[in-house]
Structure 1
């Protein structure tokens, strides 16, 4: 069985290809993709409008359309796991900091030099906002 970090990366690339090509999400997933990968990709698609609103709110000076598609896909997947942990099957959801760490690691490996800092800043701001909203 593939590691969860590999499955997250596969979900990111499926979402990225779906956004870039307009092909159905199911067609961008590997034929033998594990259930976790499929569920995460589909949940990310389901919550993409919410994620995009959060990204746009924290991307100072950037419109959502100007953000590179891969970076957007990375952040959407992380936000799905942070905000909707029950949408994806598994033993225990990843902690929000873990989701951010995985997103930054993916950005370091596959996106531009500035992407890790950009991804980290937006996701950290979103997590702070979420925690402030939950504080009585």
Structure 2
């Protein structure tokens, strides 16, 4: 599975987990849709869930006039996924994570999602570079 596909499927699983009462394994199975699982996909889903509180804190810090629970569910899932990669996946350059998140926002978000995701992630990137 290509990494872009793994990200898309991870986004789908994380979105389902966030908006419904679905179990993690069930969301993973549904997102894979009978495709074979992938270590990167598994790392993304489980990594985001494991670090969700820290990721939400990172994201919330950069939401101007917004609360995390008020932003679109898909945007929140994209931000969590990208923030996880940026903060915890050391083998992936930060700019790659940002670009992939922007592509996800273009594909799955509304017209304003791309700019919103880019703005929040740019601020997170600055924090990461300063630490």
TM-score w.r.t. structure 1 length?
Answer: 0.88
Aligned to 2:66: 62
Aligned to 2:77: 73
Distance 1:119 1:9 in 2: 16
Deviation at 1:45, TM superposition (A): 0.6
- SS of residue paired to 2:61: helix
Distance 1:132 1:116 in 2: 24
- Which runs of structure 2 are paired with 1:1-136 in the superposition (5 Å)? 2-29=1-28, 30=32, 31=34, 32-85=36-89, 93-133=91-131
The more displaced of 24-33 and 104-113 is: 24-33
Number of equivalenced pairs: 126
Aligned to 1:89: none
TM-score w.r.t. structure 2 length?
Answer: 0.91
Distance 1:52 1:70 in 2: 14
Deviation at 1:48, TM superposition (A): 0.9
Unaligned 5+ segments in structure 2 are none
- SS of residue paired to 1:78: helix
Deviation at 1:49, TM superposition (A): 0.8
Kindly report structure 1 stretches of 4+ aligned residues shifted beyond 4 Å: none
